[in-house]
Amino acid sequence: MVTVAWDVDDVLNNLMWAWFHEEWAPAHPGRSISYADIRENPPHEVLGVPLSDYLSSIDAFRVSEKACQLRPCPEILDWIERQGSGCLNVALTARPMDSLPQMSHWLFRHFGSHFRVLGVVPVRLRPGEPMYHRSKGEFLSWFGRVDVLVDDSEENIRSAKESGVQGILFPQPWNSSGETVEGTLRLLTEMVTNPSSDAG
């Protein structure tokens, strides 16, 4: 059975979209920037703010009640409910440690009947916090059980492929996917049902 690792933020949920519309845009009413203009992640240069300001804002949003109430990506939730039992599903996130309790609660509240593993590659570690893996690719190489990674980061997809894991780039304005969500999930279905396929 194929094992699929799912990124959480901006794949299973719409974190950046919600942050942009509910936090950043209302606080900057004079800026004529749309979500589709976010061609980089992190998007601080696009937004015209220092990286530290963006990180402080998105990190605060991650632990907010608004983030806890995010709805799952409906297409993925539907795919998981219809086809998730045909593969093993794990989550793999790169987040600051402080926001992991909120995120894990969100994940298992919405996807808990299908997800049995949560892998973490923490970012911006504090002094004294151990670093076991520097990238998702390093984590996947250590874990050794994942066949496919679904992620919105091209860097994460590259590091996964370097570790022998197939990658599916989930469409977001900041990457070169060029696919729809539906087309992306069709590709995943092919990879799950036909593991010998070279798709992706």
Rounded average pLDDT per 10-residue block, the chain, 200 residues: 97 98 92 94 96 97 97 97 95 96 97 94 93 96 97 98 97 98 97 73
Q: Which helix (H) or strand (E) holds 143?
A: helix 136-143
Q: Has this prediction a pTM greater than 0.85?
A: yes
DSSP, res 144 = -
pLDDT of residue 199: 52
**What are residue 127's phi and psi, to 5 degrees?**
-55, 135
Contacts of 103 (CB under 8 A, 6+ apart): 8, 9, 62, 93, 95
Helix (H) or strand (E) holding 60: helix 51-62
How many angstroms separate the CA atoms of 47 and 78, rounded?
Answer: 33
CB 131 within 8 A of CB 121: no
